[in-house]
Structure 1
């Protein structure tokens, strides 16, 4: 490299179509540099890829594919692994086709979508607050979305109402938490304590609503109180399938801002970040994803804690693992729902209970380990 910086190397190395090995040699340590010539552009286009983050995402993707295949084969009626792939395309035994296409595949897709949404929302909130306890479930956003979704089921009884009401509830809970933490912003434990209080109030409202209605109506609203993929509103799943790519794409676009948000506001502003504007954008994406996920599966909040923790432990500490958090959240959700279906089959354990059993000790571990290893 003759003493040149990585940026100088990008300008001096010849770049052709696709990957350029000479340019890659000038990439910073721990990165790959992918460079290409686009159209009639004079200067080459290039992008730096963090090796560890890429490998972590690849590992989580492979794990998710393996878990998804196990999800389709296992259940009260087990399928032979060789029968799953033909059933996906409508071939083979009619019972296998029915089990895969009508029962398990839609539920698997819902698990992947909701897990990814909870994982990304948790990663965003943790980065925003610089605290690994600041997940949507712990700071009350999940409970706010749940209370409004339950109110819509009790009062309206239509499948398209819970998604919209869940978004309103998530927004209301976030606004209340910010208001009660006035002066402390999103940093420190004041924000966490305010969120816990808001979540407790909305949780009590949910229980009060269920106590005042007929038992059949309460049973219809029950999945939104514990977290379950057994009763998935088709309209809510469709909205989440549209909203998740938008939210994930926005979060990836905000990756550089998220990296700077881990510093103090003064440092981030000095590096050119519009702190207030980016903070509201991050919060809006987190609320959107949480509301849509709750409208499908209910408050499975600890996925937003476990998923980002897994992603952070596998990924590079240099960046914010948004994509890895989405994949890890989806993996946790699929495995939790699979465990709920098969452990006591034919009795089904709601996925929210499974994640609570796993996430509770994880939360205690975060609280009890040395403070130097926390974001707070």
Structure 2
């Protein structure tokens, strides 16, 4: 949604409307969609029981064999769809916050929002809540943490560096709270909370995918509306105000959208780390954009998480790793390379 430099963009007039198109961004977006479809088909068709691609289609429309319908419609397809939606939500959330802070470290993983969702989920587990309570606690924890970060960082407005510094401090505090809660919980609740904290798509069904799909259906148009103001604000708040943008109002709406995306995604799959940080940067390099690209970031996040989950299932088969373990390993390596590049 955020377009590259004018040299790479072209204007197309349709009636009274003028739309700016970036050929490279469009090609990259199409390639990401094709990649997501290909990875999804591989994930659904392979495993202990192989399902050919034609049988996948017939099973999804309800005309396959009972075994194929069970494997595809009840077990594998919900997991893949949840991974695509959660990855898109994390990627879009990370793109919003990196655009606001103008910093690659300005993602929910570092500014405390994912930690707030984790704390809310752990509280629900310790209190003996069901899966619905855990999801609700995760979302409420993310929203509460975001409100606290915004309040502490506000001083005649919210600057990106203050948001990051306050978020990092609150993130460390919440991690200590999580450790305390786990030590006070009984062994069964602690094991459940520990497994949830890792981040996983195992056992995810349509009841996990539908809330994320609903959130994306509502918030993607909001992000599309915010794309132009965010692009202008990347040049500086003063420059954005000079062209008539209400900077603080845009920041509040953008933060609210990013927090809800992060909270819903965490509620569905647990705190899967580093997807929100890495996806926008990878999308920016693929599109060669001057700023963070929202649409490409969402598609990159979907591909990244689905591909990581496929690798987590197949690398040590029949043992399956939680997807959060693999994304943490990949993200940690990427962060080290990023810091090394900044140092140079």
Q: TM-score, normalised by structure 1?
A: 0.83
Equivalent position to 1:346, from 318, 323, 332? 318
Gaps of 5+ in 2: 1-5
Deviation at 1:136, TM superposition (A): 0.2
Equivalent position to 1:208, from 180, 191, 203? 180
1:225 is the counterpart of 2:203? no
> 1:40 maps to what in 2?
none
After superposition, the Cα gap between the structure-2 partners of 1:234 and 1:106, relative to the gap in structure 1 and judged at 3 Å, is closer
After superposition, the Cα gap between the structure-2 partners of 1:249 and 1:169, relative to the gap in structure 1 and judged at 3 Å, is same
1:195 is the counterpart of 2:160? no
Task: Kindly provide the CA deviation profile for residues 24-58 of structure 1, in whole angstroms up to 9, marking residues without a partner as x.
Answer: xxxx7533444444xxxxxx333222222211211
Asked whether the equivalents of residues 34 and 46 of structure 1 are also in contact (C-alpha less than 8 Å), the reply is: yes
> 2:8 maps to what in 1?
30
Q: Secondary structure at the match of 1:349?
A: coil
Equivalent position to 1:270, from 242, 255, 264? 242
- Match runs of 1:107-146 below 5 Å: 107-146=79-118
> 1:186 maps to what in 2?
159
Asked whether the equivalents of residues 283 and 300 of structure 2 are also in contact (C-alpha less than 8 Å), the reply is: yes
Q: Secondary structure at the match of 1:222?
A: helix
Task: Kindly provide the CA deviation profile for residues 301-360 of structure 1, in whole angstroms up to 9, marking residues without a partner as x.
Answer: 300012111211122525541111111000011001111111112211111111011110
Deviation at 1:235, TM superposition (A): 4.8
> 1:321 maps to what in 2?
293
Deviation at 1:234, TM superposition (A): 5.7
Distance, in Å, in 2 between the alignment partners of 1:120 and 1:181 is: 22
* Higher relative contact order structure (alpha carbons within 8 Å, sequence separation ≥ 6): 2
Bigger mean CA offset, 217-226 vs 282-291? 217-226
Asked whether the equivalents of residues 234 and 291 of structure 2 are also in contact (C-alpha less than 8 Å), the reply is: no
1:368 is the counterpart of 2:340? yes
> 1:100 maps to what in 2?
72
Distance, in Å, in 2 between the alignment partners of 1:105 and 1:282 is: 31
Distance, in Å, in 2 between the alignment partners of 1:90 and 1:342 is: 28
Gaps of 5+ in 1: 1-27, 38-43
After superposition, the Cα gap between the structure-2 partners of 1:232 and 1:362, relative to the gap in structure 1 and judged at 3 Å, is same
Deviation at 1:144, TM superposition (A): 0.5
After superposition, the Cα gap between the structure-2 partners of 1:186 and 1:78, relative to the gap in structure 1 and judged at 3 Å, is farther
Going by fraction, where is helix more abundant, 1 or 2? 2
Deviation at 1:102, TM superposition (A): 0.8
Q: TM-score, normalised by structure 2?
A: 0.91
Between structure 1 and structure 2, the one with the greater Rg is 1
Equivalent position to 1:335, from 280, 284, 307? 307
Equivalent position to 2:131, from 155, 159, 165? 159
Q: Secondary structure at the match of 2:130?
A: coil
After superposition, the Cα gap between the structure-2 partners of 1:126 and 1:319, relative to the gap in structure 1 and judged at 3 Å, is closer
Equivalent position to 1:176, from 145, 148, 153? 148
Deviation at 1:139, TM superposition (A): 1.1
Distance, in Å, in 2 between the alignment partners of 1:337 and 1:96 is: 21
Distance, in Å, in 2 between the alignment partners of 1:29 and 1:263 is: 17
1:148 is the counterpart of 2:120? yes
1:299 is the counterpart of 2:274? no
